[in-house]
Amino acid sequence: MTLFELWAEAVRRHALRPALGWVDETAWSYSELDQRIRTIQVHFARLGLASGDRLALWSHNHPAWGAVYLAVTTSGAVIVPLLPEFPVAETAQAIIHSGAKVLVLSKALRDVWVEYIPQAPDELKTALQEVTVLLLDELAEAPPLPPVLQTGPLPTESTLAAIIYTSGTTGKPKGVMLSHRNLTSNVNAAAPIPRLQPGNRLLSVLPLAHTYECTLGLLIPLSLGCQVSYLRKQPAPAVLIPALASVRPHAMLTVPLFIEKIYRQKILPSLQKQPVKVLLKVPLLRSLILRRAGHKLKSLMGGRIHFFGIGGAGLAPEVARFLHKSGFPYAIGYGLTESSPLLAGHLGVKLYSTGKVLTGVRIKIAEPLNEEGAGEILAQGPNIMMGYYKDPERTAEVLSADGWLRTGDLGRFDRHGHLHIVGRSKNMILGPGGENIYPEPIEALYNQDQLIVETLVLHNGSHLVAKVVVDHETLPDKLAPWGRDLGKALEAYLENMKHLINKRLARFSHISHVEVQDKPFEKTATMKIKRYLYEKSHGKGRKGQMGT
């Protein structure tokens, strides 16, 4: 199946249903969205955009984002979605590298682009000046035009559909090439997981330029006749809470940091009050209290949510336990941009697991590193990328001749066939006796404390160091029993925390000292910490051995 066929079938079946729109406006119907796509294709054809040509899309979420995406891909051209958070210089490099003839951007980014061009390096400036720039907002409002006749060949399953630039946590941008078959096979394999029905509503809060949101939050809903609503501003609480009340979504996709914040700010305080804290020790009452807390969380989401997808990074164990025991309809997924993106997923039925492998996908564990059977996850299937654009060397490093993708993630299967993610192979630290130390589980232990917002465990050449970001709002109340001097109190509190956590860890995994990070860690689009930025100042311990 191609995206052309997927969209044609969606319009045929759901023409009059609402499709895409702002939270505060009436959505385009599937028929109206199809007309918008055809009008946009006329504009592109007039610019000479033909089958195989590349068009870059640099914008925040917008109902017309999906219209441009489908206008490009269903005509046989190639979409190059760029994250709005990308620095303008990095965006420019991606546009040149991809060979994009046209750039569509939003009003919010136009000034940034216009100011950059005169300052661009000479080797880029000439090429960038040849790129035609269009405003997404104007394409969204352009009057309907008669459709243009398809002059080039229709896309086939093997046609390149998208080039996705992602720096991830390594800091080395790569252009992931995804074909029509890559994307539609993932849509069809993953579609049953959210149990969506025609007419269901989704609230989109993650960047559409990320494959996680694009496949699961745009293509799957459209294939099933659902409606997707977008926020006009960033999803801060003041914007998000009214939107949830207005949309009352049936489904939503997010990253762990989002639900972890809600849990700690809206749910956890009520569970720590007296006498609730005492009643939680009674098994029967504990179950009842947690179920009521889960109902409260569901009410915060609008009251009718039945699928809350979480992906992009690891979920804190305490939050996973709460969601599981409270009956909240969460789902954990695992995948990569290189796999379009989903490889495994399920609806929260197995604690700490990312679920079973998708239909049509094969996963195996290469060379298990420990007695639990954990090793690098390898994946093969119709959703695995074509390769990295113009980068055969890096493609060969991760993609075998018979189509097995080296994910760089460490995982294991339990006896029920559920996949568990252990950590990133590149993050693994070699202990003094050759032990494998995974920083992610240690970080999760620190993150369980209400005072800690986020943690990064690094190797300084001889010892393990935990860098933490603290919650300054709760700092005075939390540290009151530790003394009047906040600085000394925080030092004592963290030292005690380190001591308690070290007692739960193997000796070779002990943290030597805890450092306070002054500002939040820089992150990727899916809120993974960019470790490479911080490893530089601590040495790359994972490539060497720790001292004794």
Mean pLDDT of 411-429: 87
Question: Which one has a higher pLDDT value, 63 or 276?
Answer: 63
Q: How far apart are CA 535 and CA 513, in angstroms?
A: 16
The per-residue pLDDT for range 203-241, each reduced to its tens digit, is 999 999 999 999 999 999 999 999 999 999 988 888 998
Mean pLDDT of 338-345: 96
- pLDDT(321) > 60: yes
Identify the pLDDT of residue 251: 98
Q: How far apart are CA 255 and CA 261, in angstroms?
A: 11
Identify the pLDDT of residue 542: 31
**Run of H or E residues at 177:** strand 174-179
The per-residue pLDDT for range 449-460, each reduced to its tens digit, is 889 999 999 987
What's CA 475's distance to the chain center, in Å?
30
Mean pLDDT of 15-35: 98
Residue 534's pLDDT band, with cuts at 50, 70 and 90, is confident
- pLDDT(193) > 60: yes
Identify the pLDDT of residue 384: 99
Identify the pLDDT of residue 315: 84
The per-residue pLDDT for range 134-143, each reduced to its tens digit, is 999 999 999 9
Identify the pLDDT of residue 167: 64
Residue 359 near residue 381 (C-beta atoms within 8 A): no
- pLDDT(388) > 50: yes
What's CA 274's distance to the chain center, in Å?
37
The per-residue pLDDT for range 470-499, each reduced to its tens digit, is 988 888 888 988 988 888 999 999 999 999
Residue 410 near residue 423 (C-beta atoms within 8 A): yes
User: Following DSSP, what letter does each residue of 479-539 receive, concatenated?
Assistant: HGGG-S-HHHHHHHHHHHHHHHHHTTS-GGG-EEEEEE-SSPPPB-TT--B-HHHHHTTT-
Mean pLDDT of 60-77: 98
Identify the pLDDT of residue 544: 26
All residues at 6 or more sequence positions from 180 whose CB lies less than 8 Å from its CB, including other chains:
1, 2, 3, 4, 73, 155, 156, 157, 158, 159, 161
Residue 507's pLDDT band, with cuts at 50, 70 and 90, is confident
Residue 500 near residue 433 (C-beta atoms within 8 A): no
- CA max distance for the chain: 76
Length of the chain: 548
Q: How far apart are CA 240 and CA 325, in angstroms?
A: 25
Q: What angle do CA 329, 332, 336 make, to 5 degrees?
A: 150
DSSP-derived 3-state class of residue 363:
strand
Question: Which one has a higher pLDDT value, 468 or 540?
Answer: 468
Q: 217-238 burial by CB neighbour count: b if 16+ within 10 A, else e?
A: bbbbbbbbbbbbbbbeeebeee
Identify the pLDDT of residue 543: 30
DSSP-derived 3-state class of residue 161:
strand
- pLDDT(540) > 80: no
The residue type found at 482 is W
- pLDDT(20) > 50: yes
Identify the pLDDT of residue 547: 31
Average pLDDT for the chain:
90
Residue 366 near residue 331 (C-beta atoms within 8 A): no
Identify the pLDDT of residue 548: 26
User: Following DSSP, what letter does each residue of 375-416 receive, concatenated?
Assistant: EEEEEESTTS--EETT-HHHHHHHB-TT--EEEEEEEEE-TT
Domains detected in the chain = 3-155 (3.40.50.980), 237-425 (3.40.50.12780), 428-543 (3.30.300.30)
Percentage of the residues of the chain whose pLDDT score is greater than 90? 66
The residue type found at 87 is P
Two structure tokens written together for 273: 């009050």
The per-residue pLDDT for range 251-296, each reduced to its tens digit, is 999 988 889 888 988 898 899 888 898 899 898 899 999 999 999 9
Residue 318's pLDDT band, with cuts at 50, 70 and 90, is confident
